[in-house]
Amino acid sequence: MNNLAVRAITAIIGVAIIISGIVFSSWTFALVMLTIALLTLREFYGLARKGGTKPYEVWGLVFSIALFGLLFLNYQDQLENDTFWMLPALFSTVFLYPLIRHGQGHAINCLALSILGIFYITLPFCLSIPIAFVSGEFQYELILGVLFAQWANDTGAYFAGKAFGKTKLFEKVSPKKTWEGSVGGLLLAVGVSLTFCYFFGTMSYLEWTGLAIVISLFGSLGDLVESAFKRALAIKDSGSTIPGHGGFLDRFDGLILALPFATTYIHFVI
């Protein structure tokens, strides 16, 4: 079976699981997004280890679960706001790790990359929650629209780049990405977003188009950011968890940067 067939089969199975989880209930939505966030964070810490640094992975995963869980429960109206005050203390425990793991790597680098993982990966995935609850109660349409626009951007960029790609986008970071591929990704993302508007509404056609442009632009930049990390470490894929796609960080790198800007856009528009 060739690589394209493996990619397609894996994508279909993965997308089906994600869609089912998001649509079924708010709790399964949270479980899906948190699981992706944790697996992606683990791969980021794995990249750091390959670069010679030993981030505090247990702390990062525990803090991510606490942050995501508290935010979700707050939006579910099942949590008092005062409970959030446990987060500063939990966050500060990372500074105790150099004492526990004294002599196991450069403490400043370990701390920096441990915290960077939270800001780079966990926080963006947490922003999927205010998107899903933007109307005050859980609705899956918008978060699905964001995901589909990002997937469409990736798919359109891949095939348009294969067919028409000539002009390099950012050759020093990612030699295979082209302007033609980016345009193809944008057009497909807009088309998918307009389809969502037709079936679900939620926003106007113009607003859905704007969302697609935001996701396409910053999703493509997110892909380049991760490429820069891997290039610095001379690594092709962040992992091999997803057959034909590399790792979770490879698959969701665009979404990581797209989510903060999509969240801002949606909350200004709605």
Report the helix count and the strand count for the chain, using DSSP H and E: 12, 2
Name the domain count of the chain.
Answer: 1
Q: Which pLDDT tens digit goes with each residue over 96-117?
A: 988 887 666 678 888 999 999 9
More confident residue, 76 or 270: 76
pLDDT over threshold 70, residue 76:
yes
Q: What tokens appear for 96 in the block?
A: 């105790």
- Reported for 45-48, long-range contacts at CB under 8 A and 24+ positions apart, including other chains, are 45/113, 45/114, 45/117, 46/238, 46/239, 47/229, 47/230, 47/233, 47/235, 47/238, 47/249, 48/113, 48/117
pLDDT over threshold 80, residue 171:
no
Q: What tokens appear for 232 in the block?
A: 């610095």
Reported as a pLDDT band with limits 50, 70 and 90, residue 74 is very high
Q: What tokens appear for 254 in the block?
A: 């665009």
More confident residue, 120 or 202: 120
Q: Which pLDDT tens digit goes with each residue over 40-71?
A: 999 999 988 888 888 999 999 999 999 999 99
Q: Which residues contact 241 (CB under 8 A, 6 or more apart)?
A: 39, 43, 247, 248
Measure the CA–CA gap between 189 and 145, rounded to whole angstroms.
10
| Residue range of the domain that includes 81 | 3-269
